[in-house]
Amino acid sequence: MKISIVTPSYNYGRYIGDAIRSVIDQDYGNKEYIIMDGGSTDDTYEVVRSFGELSYLKWVSEPDDGQTNAINKGFELASGDVVAWLNADDFYLPETFSRVAQAFRENPDVDVIYGDTMFVDENGNFKRIKKEHDFDFKILLYYGCYIQSTSTFFRRRIFEEGNKLNESFRVVMDYEYFLRIYDRGYKFKYLPKVLSTFRWHGDNVSIKNKKVGMREKLDMRKKYSDIKFSNDINYKIYFEIMRYLHTARRLAKKRLPK
């Protein structure tokens, strides 16, 4: 079972070395690593080149239309049976690939495997473990994207069947994607192992674009609550309250004195 990893990157030379090393150090031979660089102007290329020539490492540097577009382009190049994206500022933990491959082999009907995530600070120091649980669509919809994309792996057939990431989403493209592919019948399974890290720093996309992310989340919750819970009065009340509060906050901010 071949595992293909795609890393979207733009001027993250200070972090990408950890991501590359975490793929190289996996105790798993049948792997492919594709770095989709958006034309970085920092030392990203020098960092990548410092690892030498690796048969399974592909470097592509060209303009893109953002992170989601870069991931889609990387998946189009991927040849693995299993694919995932690893952000340039995150990294995998040892034995992740072998554990994921075993989980897919033991569960041939499963399309998506996700696990736990270690949160680290800017320098890679441990902060906490984020533990997940068995998949529950209502929790995903009600609570939000509790599944960390950095600890999630997909069978490539999902993408081959026309399910690309929606490039109109800039912050919660993973959340929208999880909701959409579940709605289309793909099966998720939780693997209770810590698979990767998520690095907290001042330049995280979700932090820098918090307002955009909130708006995208509300749009997705409304859409899928109508589809899945049209007869569930509790969910309808919840989403109407959320929409009202979101609108009220936005209007209140506009009326504040300059």
CA distance 216 to 190: 25
Using CA of residue 50, residue 56, residue 59, residue 65, what is the dihedral sign?
Answer: negative
Name residue 59's beta-bridge partners. Answer: 35
Write down the pLDDT at residue 216.
Answer: 73
Q: Is the pLDDT of residue 252 over 90?
A: no
What's the full length of the chain, in residues? Answer: 258
Band of residue 257 on the pLDDT scale cut at 50, 70, 90: very low
Write down the pLDDT at residue 137.
Answer: 87
Q: Is the pLDDT of residue 98 over 80?
A: yes
The three-state (H, E, C) secondary structure of the chain, written as one string: CCEEEEEEECCCHHHHHHHHHHHHCCCCCCEEEEEEECCCCCCHHHHHHCCCCCCCEEEEECCCCCHHHHHHHHHHHCCCCEEEECCCCCCECCCHHHHHHHHHHHCCCCCEEEEEEEEECCCCCEEEEECCCCCCHHHHHHHCCCCCHHHEEEECHHHHCCCCCCCCCCCCHHHHHHHHHHHCCCCEEEEEEEEEEEECCCCCHHHHCHHHHHHHHHHHHHHHHHHHCCCCHHHHHHHHHHHHHHHHHHHHHHHCCC
Write down the pLDDT at residue 230.
Answer: 53
Q: What is the pTM of this model?
A: 0.84
Q: Is the pLDDT of residue 253 over 70?
A: no
Q: Is the pLDDT of residue 136 over 50?
A: yes
Tens of pLDDT along 7-56? 999 999 999 999 999 999 999 999 999 999 999 999 999 999 999 999 99
Tens of pLDDT along 207-244? 455 566 577 777 777 777 665 555 555 655 665 665 56
Strands 152-155 and 112-120: antiparallel
The pLDDT of 72-89, averaged and rounded, is 97
Tens of pLDDT along 120-131? 999 999 999 999
The pLDDT of 177-185, averaged and rounded, is 94
More confident residue, 107 or 218: 107
Band of residue 6 on the pLDDT scale cut at 50, 70, 90: very high
Name residue 35's beta-bridge partners. Answer: 7, 59
Tens of pLDDT along 138-172? 888 877 788 999 999 999 999 999 999 999 887 78
Write down the pLDDT at residue 258.
Answer: 42
